[in-house]
């Protein structure tokens, strides 16, 4: 199962960790993993390349972690949050149809 842990501060998304293989199909043929990867990778690119937001990020085999840095404010933060919320819309849609293969967890943290 793929697990996405989304971190929030004061109800606003500040990052996520995505890890694990969904198990829907074999590696390379898994539509759930492909969809999750496309959404999380696009969110990463949007936050870093479009919003130009400072992040702490790490990508390794089967895991992607992205956290907005506490010092970003204003327009950068607003754009980054909008991108993260858009990613979540797509992920929640997948979770509704493939709940045995994708789980989204919400964690409130102190900024």
Determine the average pLDDT of the residues in 86-108. Answer: 97
Whether residue 12 is predicted with pLDDT greater than 70 in this model: the reply is yes
pLDDT in tens, 63-90: 999 999 999 989 999 999 999 999 999 9
Other Cβ atoms closer than 10 A to 31:
13
User: Which ranges in 1-111 belong to alpha helices (H)?
Assistant: 31-45, 74-97
Determine the average pLDDT of the residues in 13-19. Answer: 97
pLDDT in tens, 20-57: 999 999 888 999 999 999 999 999 999 999 999 999 99
For the chain, how long is the longest CA-to-CA vector?
A: 43
Compute the distance between CA of residue 107 and CA of residue 111 in angstroms, rounded to an integer: 12
Q: Where are the domains of the chain?
A: 2-108
Whether residue 98 is predicted with pLDDT greater than 90 in this model: the reply is yes
Amino acid 111: pLDDT: 59
Q: How far is CA 53 from the centre of its chain?
A: 15
Q: Which residue has the higher pLDDT, 111 or 91?
A: 91
With respect to CATH, is domain 2-108 assigned 3.40.640.10? no
Amino acid 30: pLDDT: 95
């Amino acid at each position: 199962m793929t697990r996405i842990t989304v971190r929030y501060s004061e109800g606003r998304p500040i990052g996520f960790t995505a890890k694990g293989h969904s198990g829907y199909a074999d590696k390379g043929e898994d539509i759930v993993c492909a969809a999750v990867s496309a959404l999380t990778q696009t969110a990463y690119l949007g936050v870093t390349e479009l919003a130009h937001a400072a992040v702490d990020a790490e990508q390794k085999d089967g895991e992607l972690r992205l956290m907005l840095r506490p010092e970003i404010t204003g327009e950068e933060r607003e754009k980054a949050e909008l991108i993260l919320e858009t990613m979540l819309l797509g992920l929640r849609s997948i979770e509704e149809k493939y709940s045995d293969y994708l789980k989204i967890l919400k964690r409130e943290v102190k900024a």
